[in-house]
A and B are shown apart, each in its own frame.
Chain A
Amino acid sequence: AQSVTQLDSQVPVFEEAPVELRCNYSSSVSVYLFWYVQYPNQGLQLLLKYLSGSTLVKSINGFEAEFNKSQTSFHLRKPSVHISDTAEYFCAVNNFNKFYFGSGTKLNVKP
């Protein structure tokens, strides 16, 4: 079975600093990759996705993630974070019609 690992449970960072949230998955067999964001007391919202094509995918609010097949990784990055980016971020893999989620990374942006 597929597994998704988010090594960092919490990431504190100052506003306007860069950030990277790490995600690794267990199988290099054809997968679809996603990042979701969850704000307090809300459901998960899709942030960005990789289905095929360019390995670098971007969201509308400045996040980007790069699919690295050889390292089975899909790390999420943002060059300059805002207070409003404070939330929990989940990496997910779709493999043979099943979704697998990581344990989540809480991003805490400090002023």
Chain B
Amino acid sequence: KAGVTQTPRYLIKTRGQQVTLSCSPISGHRSVSWYQQTPGQGLQFLFEYFSETQRNKGNFPGRFSGRQFSNSRSEMNVSTLELGDSALYLCASSTEGLAGPYEQYFGPGTRLTVT
């Protein structure tokens, strides 16, 4: 099976702009989660989508949003970019077991730089 893919891999934007990142999960995985990783804050959970519905949400401002399509592909959008949004954005997909999702499989990430 192909792994989790994320596009683009690198992105440079200017403050105030908006950006859309894309994630294609492993075939058959219906859960997609997004994380922001920075040197200072570590790995922070943004949100999780399952079957096109946002199931869990982290503590990020409303400028961060996401959606999931019927084929489980997911996008996240950041509006009105700030310098502090510069980070590695990781997408992860997982299966659903009887007791919930098991391990998450991560994509290579999108490195966003805001200037």
A64 to B103 CA separation, bound complex (whole angstroms)? 17
Using Cβ atoms and an 8 Å threshold, which residues of chain B touch A102? 42
Residue of A43, A44, A51 near B102 (CB, 8 A) is A51
What is the CB-to-nearest-CB distance from B34 to chain A, in angstroms, rounded to a whole number?
A: 11
Chain A residues with a Cβ closer than 8 Å to the other chain, count? 23
Label chain A's interface by main secondary structure.
strand
New A-B contacts (18) at CB < 8 Å, excluding given A43-B4, A97-B56, A99-B101: A30-B99, A34-B103, A34-B104, A43-B107, A44-B43, A45-B106, A46-B105, A49-B102, A92-B104, A97-B100, A97-B101, A98-B56, A99-B104, A101-B35, A101-B42, A103-B42, A103-B43, A104-B42
**Chain B interface residues toward A at CB < 8 A:** 4, 33, 35, 42-43, 45, 48, 55-56, 90, 92, 99-109
A45 to B103 CA separation, bound complex (whole angstroms)? 10
B106 with A43: CB separation less than 8 A: yes
A90 at the interface (CB under 8 A from B): yes
B103 with A46: CB separation less than 8 A: yes
A54 at the interface (CB under 8 A from B): no
Using Cβ atoms and an 8 Å threshold, which residues of chain B touch A99? 33, 45, 92, 101, 104
Residue of B45, B55, B106 near A44 (CB, 8 A) is B106
Known contacts A44-B90, A101-B42: does B108 contact A94 (CB below 8 Å)?
no
Q: List 11 A-B contacts (CB under 8 A).
A: A42-B108, A43-B108, A43-B109, A46-B105, A94-B100, A97-B55, A97-B100, A98-B56, A101-B43, A102-B42, A104-B43
